[in-house]
Amino acid sequence: MFRNHKFSHKDSIIVATQPESVYAESFRKIPINIKYSRVDDEPRVIQITSSLSGEHKSTSAANIAAVYRELGHKVILVDCDLRKPSIHRITGLVNTDGLTDYLVGNTDYANLIKQTRFEIDVINAGNPVPFPHVALRSEKFKNLIAKLRESYEYVIVDSPPLLLVTDSLIIGEICDTAVFVINQRTTKKNAAKEAIRLLRESNIPIAGIVLSNTAKRIRRVSKYYSYKYKYTSKK
């Protein structure tokens, strides 16, 4: 079903726009599995990433945030894909006064966080900067995530694809865990394996894998996303 239908950005947060659908129900399973990936120390700052573009990681991030909000938690969605941002479009925001603007001193914390019609707080990516990886390495970014950790129960971080830039590995250093998104119909096996290898070598825990755009035989079980949960151990 998902293979033959392209959702517009206004329909992307299906947990909110189609709450009774099987699509939304698939997303509701993900936070449960994230929680039990570390029972004694539940992940609260959660990175969403993929190997390459076009794997629906941003849609996954937005819907995971929507599930947490639906459960009554205070959650914020942060767009750290500074090179190709899309969270502002998914949530209906203008991409100004965002993360990059805050990091370079062009906006303050009070203007940084936006409220959306989905009742999810959002930090959009902001205006382009020459060297995004430098901005993400800054102490100001680390301090911001630490402040959000204190203010919110869950922080969902949309990150760039792992095989295109180093940004995701930098972001992963200050997150509790990562959820890895794979487009089941387009992602090459070697690309996925290489991306997962990078996460493991950087000691970034992987809570599980989201399969998007699943094949027909898989879609009989989950018609939008299937979620495969697995333990991963640090080496």
pLDDT, average across residues 144-161: 98
* pLDDT of amino acid 219: 41
pLDDT, average across residues 88-114: 97
* pLDDT of amino acid 214: 67
Give pTM, 2 decimals. 0.88
In a domain, 152, yes or no: yes
Cα distance between residue 24 and residue 22, in whole Å: 5
Cα distance between residue 226 and residue 13, in whole Å: 16
Give the closest residue to 171 by CA, choosing from 79, 235, 39.
Answer: 79
In a domain, 199, yes or no: yes
Look at 71 and 186; give whichever has higher pLDDT: 71
* Structural tokens at position 142: 């680390």
Q: Any idea what the CATH number is for the domain that residue 212 is in?
A: 3.40.50.300
In a domain, 192, yes or no: yes
- Amino acid making up residue 84: K
Cα distance between residue 174 and residue 144, in whole Å: 11
Sign of CA dihedral 104, 169, 162, 53: negative
Contacts of 225 (CB under 8 A, 6+ apart): 2, 23, 26, 27, 56, 60, 210, 211, 212, 214
How many domains does the chain fold into? Answer: 1
Q: Give percent of the chain above pLDDT 70.
A: 86
pLDDT, average across residues 189-216: 90
Q: 62 is in which domain, residue-wise? A: 15-229
Give pLDDT tens digits for 116-135: 999 999 999 999 999 999 99
Whole-number CA gyration radius for the chain: 16
Cβ count within 10 A of residue 221: 10
Between strands 177-183 and 154-158, the pairing is unpaired
Give pLDDT tens digits for 14-67: 999 999 988 889 899 999 999 989 878 999 999 999 999 888 999 999 999 999
* pLDDT of amino acid 215: 53
* pLDDT of amino acid 11: 57
